[in-house]
Amino acid sequence: MKVKVAILGCSGRMGRNLIQAAIEHESIELVGGSVRSTSSFVDFDLGELAGIGAIGAKTSVELTELLEADVFIDFTSIETTLENIEWCKKHNKALVIGTTGFSDEQVKTIEAAGQHIPVILAPNTSVGVNLLFKLLEITSKAIGDHTDIEIFEAHHRFKKDAPSGTAVKMGQVIADTLGRDLNKCAVYGREGITGERDKETIGFATVRAGDIVGEHTAFFADIGERLEITHKASSRMTFALGAMRAAFWLSEADNGYYDMQDVLGLK
């Protein structure tokens, strides 16, 4: 039996990769996707939208036309995602969220939605990146208190939030492992005479250029040696394939708030 999936905001770059990944996944049936009423792709075949030929499922403006879906996948915008959460709660639909840039209060809203529906919030659905998070936890336990920690990330020129949700999650994993408050110890860029580095800080550096899909590195630097843990994505399909894996897992989950660590059994 296949899991029926609908993709919210399916006409963008990521949306088209999600369409392709859903079509290629043997355990998923793509039943539709949503677009804005002003989109030129209203009532458009999803397969043709992704450039791989007609499949019969089409885009919709009204989410009520997608009620047959078991799981919804949302890589839209903060405002749209928050609206979609309320809709999914109302109609008892599971939701995978790949949107990034949420404030702490907005994350609490998403957490609370887990009391009503199964929901995954994943700043990065790549399997490799989520293994990276686990490696960061292990490394932080071993040497985090003895090293200077810096996080570097690079993305394409079109990305709207900075630092990336993945970079923030990296910092959060490290800070939580070391018993630090990321809101207090994070340093987002440096300029001028800053004085010597505070040992407790976690630094972030951001690059936005060209068509970089996504690169993330955590530096653990001591005197005489440096450990670097890096993940590089060369295609958005890695995120799309991970999202399908999350959707399939979520279809059998109880109501609750989850992340990709749950999906991959890394907790």
- Active-site residue (options: 2, 89, 134, 159): 159
What local confidence, expressed as pLDDT, does residue 133 receive? 95
Residue 267 has pLDDT above 90, yes or no: no
Residue 159 has pLDDT above 80, yes or no: yes
Residue 253 has pLDDT above 90, yes or no: yes
Residue 243 has pLDDT above 90, yes or no: yes
Confidence band, pLDDT 50/70/90 cuts, at residue 101: confident
d(CA 78, CA 101): 7
d(CA 115, CA 89): 9
Q: Where are the domains of the chain?
A: 3-121+236-263, 127-233
Tens-place pLDDT, residues 171-188: 999 999 999 999 999 999
Residue 163: is the preceding peptide bond cis (ω within 30°)? Answer: yes
| Share above pLDDT 70 across residues of the chain, in percent, rounded to a whole number | 100
Mean pLDDT in the chain? Answer: 95
Active site residue 116: no
Tens-place pLDDT, residues 128-140: 999 999 999 999 9
Its CATH architecture, for the domain 3-121+236-263, is 3-Layer(aba) Sandwich (3.40)
- Window from 25-29, 135-139, 263-267 with minimum mean pLDDT: 263-267
Cβ distance 161 to 128 under 8 Å?
no
Beta bridge partners of 221: 148, 226
Residue 1 has pLDDT above 80, yes or no: no
Residue 94 has pLDDT above 80, yes or no: yes
Superfamily of 127-233 according to CATH = Dihydrodipicolinate Reductase; domain 2 (3.30.360.10)
From its phi and psi, is residue 156 left (phi > 0), alpha (psi between -120 and 50) or beta? beta
What local confidence, expressed as pLDDT, does residue 136 receive? 98
What local confidence, expressed as pLDDT, does residue 149 receive? 98
- Active-site residue (options: 155, 169, 216, 231): 155
Tens-place pLDDT, residues 41-63: 999 999 999 999 889 999 999 99
Side by side, the strands of the sheet bearing 71-74 are: 59-60, 28-34, 3-8, 71-74, 94-97, 118-121, 256-258
Distances (CA, A) of 14 to 76, 150, 187, 206: 9, 28, 30, 21
Tens-place pLDDT, residues 183-218: 999 999 899 999 999 999 999 999 999 999 999 999
| Entry pTM | 0.84
Confidence band, pLDDT 50/70/90 cuts, at residue 123: confident
Active site residue 58: no
